[in-house]
Amino acid sequence: MRYRVLGGTGLRVSEIGLGAWFIGGMYGEVTIDEAKAIIRRALDLGINVFDTADVYGNGLSERILGEELMGYDAYVFTKVGYNIYEGKGSKHTQLFTPDYIRYAALQSIRRLGRSVNLLQLHNPPLDVIRSSNIHETLLELVKEGYVEHIGVALGPEVNVLNEGLAAIESGYESIMFVFNILEQEPARTLIRLGDGKVGLITRVPHASNLLTSSFTLNFKPGDHRNLRNREWLIRAKAIVDYYVKPISDQLGVKLSQLALKYVLSYPVSTVMVTVTSVNELEEYVEAVDGSYLNLSLVRQLEELYDDVIVKVT
């Protein structure tokens, strides 16, 4: 495993982190025992950063991570902003009042059984990111020792560029955003503007499995990938087969590994992968070898996005 520094935090994080929303039914079908095996294997492979949220399984992801990481020197990132304590079902409304953020953060810490290395606002709107009261509430949690660093997880993908810029301007220490071969903007712009200013955490490197050999259009109810536009997925899959897969074949790497090498060719801090098996995790970690894409190939994939992907999808 190779490591990079998360912006100005000083945290030395693995180039691949484990996104833990597969615990709780939001991504794939993974049993608790399988989830625990994935976490343990991640630790064996040198992954030292685990990203979760209170809304993943209504606290289940945090609880399982807390149990499995007990005694390990690993970083835990979590998110708050959805009110999981009122109402029933899996659909929760957002709530970003200072009192609620404090309450939710302390509940997350209780489930994890440890302080949080990075507390992130979960998909906050622009006015929340710019709120001095919200920012001060998070800083108070830092001062009190509950939280080490604070950041913003950007989404859904409607106003991400402006939200990312606001997070940087407001003094947040990290931003998390979608970045992959098929979804390059506004990520490329955020990377350019945020490099050296904040920690850059990327997610969804495989574009809902489009950039893997296990792509499917059939997701179980409750799987977050059901939110994807089906027609977009079909058009994007054709682009992957015609343009992207030949590149991975030429390089002699798996499609999933090319996807990760592309992201890691930029000055990002870490890329959060989501897996449903130990085998998937091992396949992804093989890509973290320091041999990433040369400038010419990066430019080729950028031009593919600018000239083909944006127009077709």
Residue 28, pLDDT > 80, answer no
Res 58: pLDDT: 92
Q: How confident is the model at residue 89 (pLDDT cuts 50, 70, 90)?
A: low
Count of domains observed in the chain: 1
* Sign of the CA dihedral running 205, 226, 177, 112: negative
Res 158: pLDDT: 86
What is the domain extent for residue 231?
3-312
Beta bridge partners of 180: 183
* CATH number of the CATH domain containing 254: 3.20.20.100
Question: Angle CA(270)–CA(229)–CA(120) in degrees, nearest 5?
Answer: 35
Residues 195-245: pLDDT tens digits? Answer: 999 999 999 999 988 999 887 777 666 656 556 677 888 899 999 999 999
Tell me if residue 16 falls in helix, strand or coil.
Answer: strand
Of residues 90, 19, 13, the one with CA closest to residue 46: 13
Residues 146-156: pLDDT tens digits? Answer: 999 999 999 98
* Sign of the CA dihedral running 224, 225, 230, 235: positive
Res 311: pLDDT: 81
Beta bridge partners of 237: none
Of residues 16, 13, 3, 6, the one with CA closest to residue 206: 16
Cis check: omega of the bond before 221, within 30 degrees of 0: no
Residues 240-274: pLDDT tens digits? Answer: 999 999 999 999 999 999 999 999 999 999 999 99
